[in-house]
Chain A
Amino acid sequence: MVGCISDLSACLIDAGIGPGLAGFLETLVGTLIVTLLPLTLVIILVWIERKYSARVQDRVGPNRVGPFGLLQPAADAVKMITKEDITPAGADRIVYNIAPILSALSVILIWAVIPFSPVHIGVDLSIGVLYFFAVGSVGALAVMLGGWSSNNKYALLGAFRVVAQLISYEVPNILAALMPVMIAGTLSMQGLVHAQAGMWFAISLPLSALLFFISSIAEVGRTPFDLLEAESEIVAGFNIEYSGMKFGLFMAGEFLHVLTIAILTAVIFFGGWLGPGVQEVPALGWLWLAIKSTILYLLALHMRSTLPRVRIDQLMSFNWKFLVPLSLVNIIVVAFLFKLVQELGLTPAADETTNIIANLPQTFILLLGNLAIIGGVLVYLRGLGREQRLANEMAAAVDEDVEHHPHHDEEVAAAAVAD
């Protein structure tokens, strides 16, 4: 029975089914799992998310429908489906209907390349990471189409903002994912996991992991970067005109996206399905991946419930003035150090890649480089903060002067400007 989980087609052939049919059935079951699993998970995710943020904010959260409110998502779904489906006058009907589908699709398609265990993966593309970014870019398109086709200027304005945000944060996101790809020497998801058998990339490349996680949160549009669909901003953003299940699809896509990026971060930086006993029982990989991604998912939820929202200009300058330069510096430093490690012959030998001891020198050097960048950035930010604080104190002092000599305030202001 356990064998069936690891290799379904061999199991079916044993049971007396022809090889062709067995292969087809295996593909069919795999496809169904990869597409239906995320759609089923969404229902649980909604409950977890509402309960978690309620607890953080000292509320009880859903507790009326079913035990612990577990049936609340079902009730929500029924409500969504029974709502009136309104298409605004003057809307572009076809585009208006395609947009929510594209939005959910762009997330579900990512699941095709997620490795759940050594043997369970939708398809191990040789360009897995690139596929993830290519599919993700369809999400921006969905937002744009949804905002435009609603025939509502606020929806359009919201869509412009969202697309600007998505395109901007894609830059540090890709640059951060480039580091593990460079060190593993492969774009395939399984290849990335195998490359971490000796050491997780999160330990040798903590800065890249952090950059990837932060910019992914922004790609998803979660607090603190959630002004694209925040309830209090431009009348809820690009999806204002959507109602019923179409709005539900946008929401489902968003909820699912958070879990998806948690899983991807786990796969790319935290060793994916790697864990004790995976070599003997491949199905254990599901458990390890689930544990790792749940921790990251809860971290994202915690960020959502505790951090304040940023303004649009802060959002943009944080990306272009902080994340992008930092990722570029990171690339140069890591690439240089990795080449150095190779030249010094400190990379683990081909037969020792799973040995932690053999991986230590390389990890140590890369980690040192990362820590040096982080330290440098912190020192720089400290200097910047002090400068700002001094400027504020100067301004406050000037203000006090103005209060003491109300008649001279114009002269003082002129002096301050001259300063």
Chain B
Amino acid sequence: MNIEITFETITFAIFGVLTLAGGIGVVTTRNLIHAALYLIVSLFGVAGIFILLAAPFLAAIQVLVYIGAIAILIIFGVMLTRGMTHLPERFNRQGGLAAVVVIGGFVVLLVGVILPVWGPNGAVAAEAQPIFMTTRDLGIALVDKEQFVLPFEVASVLLTAAMVGAIAIARDDESRD
């Protein structure tokens, strides 16, 4: 196997390490605020991966939605449940079992991913061509009546329903007048 050291490889390595290290931080840190910060690091790494994959629009949305909204929402959630931020026990009773299951699952995935490349059949991995203007194509695909306009509308209904539901559930009964 020959790995060329190019700009793309280095960038991929940096963002890949950010993604995985952040992910490990999320599941192992005791302090939940720190876990949320690691989550942001990990999500930022995924945004970088999107840019490498020629999807800049998704990268910007990733930062805007995940870091700007979801991570802040999670930090709010952690702060509103004070006293639960530092639990003495991080993992539940089945923690060890879960680790074994997850590692087993990862190995299965790895075999499934790598076997087609290096296995007896040796399928050659596709080479990606340079592409441009994916943002415009994405926009057209989302509102094209032949394609995704119906799921698009359903998604907005889902967001509205989620908003109403979240407000209704989290509302404080005592402050009702």
Direct contact of A and B (CB under 8 A): yes
With A148-B33, A187-B135 as given contacts, are A134 and B60 in contact (CB-CB < 8 Å)? yes
**B23 is an interface residue with CB less than 8 A from chain A:** no
Chain B residues within 8 Å of A140, by CB: 68, 72
- The stretch of A123-131, A205-213, A280-288 that contacts the partner chain: A123-131
Does B142 interact with chain A (Cβ within 8 Å)? no
Taking a contact as CB atoms under 8 Å apart, the answer to whether A125 and B72 are in contact is no
Which DSSP category, helix, strand, loop or mixed, fits chain A's interface? helix
Q: Are A127 and B60 in contact (CB under 8 A)?
A: yes
Q: Which residues does chain A contribute within 8 Å of B72, judged by CB atoms?
A: 140-141, 144, 163, 167
Known A-B contacts A95-B33, A140-B72, A148-B79; the reply to A130 vs B40 at CB < 8 A is no
| Interface presence of A245 (CB below 8 A) | no
> Which residue of the partner chain, among B68, B76, B133, contacts A134 with CB atoms under 8 Å?
B68
Selected contact of B40 from candidates A126, A131, A141, A170, CB within 8 Å: A141
**Which residues in B have their C-beta under 8 angstroms from that of A156?**
79
Q: Which residues of A contact B71 (CB under 8 A)?
A: 141
Encoded as 1 (CB less than 8 Å from any B CB) or 0, chain A from 115 to 145 comes to 0000000000111001101110110110011
Chain B residues with CB below 8 A from A254, complex form: none
Q: Determine whether the beta carbon of A95 is less than 8 Å from that of B64.
A: no
Pair A137/B69 contact, Cβ less than 8 Å: yes
Judge whether B21 is part of the interface by a CB distance below 8 angstroms. Answer: no
Give per-residue flags for B110-132: 1 if the beta carbon is below 8 A from chain A beta carbons, else 0. Answer: 00000000000000000000000
Q: Is A409 an interface residue (CB 8 A)?
A: no
Q: How many residues of B contact A (CB 8 A)?
A: 20
Whether B75 lies near A137 (C-beta < 8 A) is no
Are A138 and B68 in contact, with the CB atoms below 8 A? yes
Q: Quick check: is B16 within 8 A (CB to CB) of the other chain?
A: no
B63 with A127: CB separation less than 8 A = no
Task: Please provide the chain B residues from 28 to 79 with a CB less than 8 Å away from any CB of chain A in the complex.
Answer: 33-34, 37, 40, 56-57, 60-61, 63-64, 67-69, 71-72, 75-76, 79
Is A26 interfacial (CB-CB < 8 Å)? no
In the complex, residue of chain B having the shortest beta-carbon distance to the beta carbon of A138: B67
Please name all residues of chain B whose beta carbon is closer than 8 Å to the beta carbon of A145 when the two chains form the complex.
Answer: 37
CA distance A135 to B62 in the complex (A): 11
Minimum CB–CB distance from B140 to chain A (whole Å) comes to 12
- 1/0 per residue A78-100: CB within 8 Å of B? 00000000000000100100000
Please, which residues of chain A bring their CB within 8 A of the CB of B67? 134, 137-138, 141
With beta carbons under 8 angstroms apart, the residue of A95, A125, A137 that contacts B68 is A137
CB distance from A260 to the nearest CB of B (A): 17
CB contact under 8 A between A130 and B75, given known A95-B33, A137-B69, A138-B68 = no
Partner of A133, one of B37, B64, B135: B64
Closest B residue to A188 by beta carbon equals: B135
Contact present for B60 and A130 (CB under 8 Å): yes
Given contacts A130-B61, A144-B72, A156-B79, 10 further A-B contacts (CB under 8 A): A134-B60, A137-B63, A137-B67, A140-B72, A141-B72, A148-B33, A148-B79, A163-B76, A167-B72, A170-B68
Interface residues of A (CB under 8 A from B): 92, 95, 125-127, 130-131, 133-135, 137-138, 140-141, 144-145, 148, 156, 163, 167, 170, 187
Can you sample 18 A-B contacts with CB below 8 Å?
A95-B34, A125-B56, A126-B133, A127-B56, A127-B135, A130-B60, A133-B64, A134-B67, A134-B68, A137-B63, A137-B68, A138-B67, A140-B68, A141-B67, A141-B72, A145-B37, A148-B79, A187-B135
